Structure formats: structure tokens, C-alpha cells
Amino acid sequence: MALSDISRVEIEKAIEECNRIGRAAFLKAYGFRPARRYLLVHEGKQYDSKAIVGAAHGFLPGERPLTPSTPGFSGGAEHAARFLKRLGFDVVAEEPAQDGPDHDELIRRITRMKANRSASHRALYKPIALLWAMGRAHRGEPRLLAWTETEAALQLLLRRHGLRGERLRPDYPIASLHREGVWELRDFTDPVTTAHGDAKVKRWFDTNQPRGGLAEPVYDLFRRSIVTRLAVIDELVDTFFEGLDPTPLLSEVGLVGIDPAEPRTGSGRTPERWLLTAAEYERGCAFVEEREAQTHGRRSTGTTSRPIRSRTARYLVLSRSRGRCENPDCTGQPADVTDDDHPILEVDHVLDLTRGGRDHPSQMVALCPNCHAVKTRGRTREALREILLRVAQERHAAGGGGAVGPGVAR
């Protein structure tokens, strides 16, 4: 290992690679975990300092990338951070996490729910409970409910949407979500049971009648962030609904039509609803990339024949478009809107997914039906594809902002 041989040139090559393949894929490729504390800041973007240094080492002639277990390099992120500072880079120490799970931690906890699914029986009770509660948060309904109300609502949903043979037992998933820190339970006398013993769990809920609901930080995230909602829906649908149509459930809990735009606040089209902060855009993309990495792995095992499309990616593209066709040469999209008051736009994957294109905003555009038809069937489609790919990349690089399409004021 020759850390001191690394110069700014190799660091910048590693940064460039990270930008090109995305953070999740980059970390995976080099075997690093996301930085907990020290972040390299370069041209306004943040990077995992230790992973960047490890990757940079591989750009030295005849050298290999350093891994977290390379002797002498395993000694902590602080070392990498100091080294980057010496080369003149900006390194910031991230704030310690607040009291509740943030977006990433929440997604991680929900992803871990996979482990609870046995091969023979894909229980839907947990995703059903979570989606029901998410629908309530989305509508701003009270976070905590009496146990009788929670139980009645979930029993109804389980009867309609649970798998055949699945028990109508809301206590079990709620106890499990509570253990994972996602669900808060209040006003009980006995300590909460953590036993897997079946009858015990039900008895505990019957006796204690806890008020409960989503943990406050989770509720707040669901309430205020459409990206979080879509990311969690993507994750749950992906994990639990393979081969099943989640639409009837999503529709019953009020989570259909939450994309492409925020709920209507009044009549008419309000430009505010297209506002998406760069941070939110970036967060959404990070999730899309993480999921992309998993999906690719899964597809290669042959269990999934059809690419799974991300609701989050679609939403990010529609928001980015601010309701306007993203073809710079568009001659005009329909002035009409749909019954839901949405502009008539279609999200297109510029490079065909079946031929290696990515389900990622950097390769997707929002098009009006005319431009979409030209892009699919027109003689000029190859030239248009080049233009659209550039538009997608530029707007993506601008963090969802950037140039606005034709016909848009400002």
C-alpha cells in the first residue's frame, strides 16, 4: 500500500467514477459501506471519503484499489479524511444522526423486513399495516389510534388483500414493527411482549389495549416527503408483491395517484406542486441507485424476467419536467389535462431497458404523446434519442433543475 503516492489526479478519477456509476454502485464495487462521519465535498457534491481514497489507489499504475480490510488502511475513516485534507480537498464531519430514523435508515429497516419472509409463505400483513399507516400520514390523519380502531381497520384490509390462508391477526405485524422501531405503542401496563409465542402476543394487545401508530419521525417523513413515500412503496412492492398486483391495496389505502404530483390543494394547476428541492431530488436518485443495484443482481439470477420500474424514478422525472414536455424541439403539447389535473405526459426510457438502459432519471425524459410517438416510430428517432439523452443528463446533473422546456415562462 502506498497511500502517499496518491495525488489529486487519482482522487478526481475516483470521484468521476462515482459520479458516473452512482454512489450505491460505487460503494458496492469497492466493498465500502456509506461513510458515517467524514464526507468529501467536491464541486458541491458529497462523497464517502474512505471509499474514494480506496478507489483512487487503484488508479495508480500497477496498483489495486484498497479495501476496508487492506492492512494499514483499515484504521479508520479519520485517516482517509486527514489525507484528503492534506491534498487540499474539503472534508466535512457530518452531524450525528437525530433521534429518529432518517430517510435512509427507514428504507434500510424496511428492506430488512425481507428476512422475515419465508420462501413458502410471503406474508403480506406487515406491508399492509405499513401502507395503511402511510396512507393516513399522507392525508394528515392523526398518528395515534386506539387499538380497537387499528385492529378493525387492519382486519378489514387483511381480509381483502392478505394472501389466502393468512391469519387475520393485526397484533403480530404491529408487534414486529414496534420491535423494529417503526411503530410506537403507548399507554400499556405490562412490558411489551417480544416473544414469538403466538397466543401471548394477541393476549398482550387484548389486555393492554395500547394506543399506537407510526413512530413520530416515520410519520413525519411519510407526511412531508413524497420521495420517501414512493421509495417505500417501491421497496415494499418489490419485496412482497412479486407477481401480485398491489394496485387494489394501494388504492384502498389512498396511495394511488400520489404521483406524479402532490395532492391538489385547490382548483387549477398550481406551479408550486412541481417544486422539488435539489436535495430531495438527490435523495430520490440515491434510492433509485440502491434499488437498481439490487434489481440487477436479482435479474441475473433469473427469478425476474421483466425489469421492475421505479415509481420514484418516474416521479423525479415528472417533477423535474415541471409539467412540460422535455423535448427541446417540441412543437407543443396538448393544452388539456387529465381528470386528475395532471399534464398529459409520458415518461420515456431514452435507452431501451431490455437493451441495457437504466431505470434512472439520468436516462429518462417526460414527453408529450406527439414527441413520444416520434421518438418511438419517427424516421428522426435516432437523432431525437441523442438529443433527449443529453437533455436527461443535463437536467439530472443540475439536480432536477436546469433548463426549463419550451413554452414555460421564466
**Closest CB to Zn ion among residues 277, 331:** 331
Spatial distance between the Cα atoms of 349 and 363, rounded to a whole number of angstroms: 6
Spatial distance between the Cα atoms of 164 and 112, rounded to a whole number of angstroms: 24
Contacting residues toward Zn ion, per CB under 5 A = 325, 327, 330, 333, 368, 371
Closest Cα to residue 90, out of 42, 52, 130? 42
Least separation in angstroms between CB 41 and Zn ion: 38
Least separation in angstroms between CB 321 and Zn ion: 10
Question: Phi/psi class of residue 209: alpha, beta or left (left: φ > 0; alpha: ψ in -120 to 50)?
Answer: left
Least separation in angstroms between CB 370 and Zn ion: 5
**Closest CB to Zn ion among residues 123, 371:** 371
H or E element in which residue 117 lies: none
**Closest CB to Zn ion among residues 107, 368:** 368
Spatial distance between the Cα atoms of 195 and 174, rounded to a whole number of angstroms: 13
| CA count, 13 A, side-chain hemisphere, 229 | 28
Judging by beta carbons within 10 Å of its beta carbon (0-12, 13-18, 19+), is residue 44 exposed, middle or buried?
A: exposed
Spatial distance between the Cα atoms of 18 and 26, rounded to a whole number of angstroms: 5
**Closest CB to Zn ion among residues 27, 384:** 384
Q: How far is CA 187 from CA 184, 190, 268, in A?
A: 10, 10, 45
**Closest CB to Zn ion among residues 176, 333:** 333
Least separation in angstroms between CB 331 and Zn ion: 7
Least separation in angstroms between CB 373 and Zn ion: 10
Least separation in angstroms between CB 402 and Zn ion: 17
Q: How far is CA 232 from CA 130, 227, 330, 381, in A?
A: 9, 9, 34, 35
Least separation in angstroms between CB 317 and Zn ion: 14
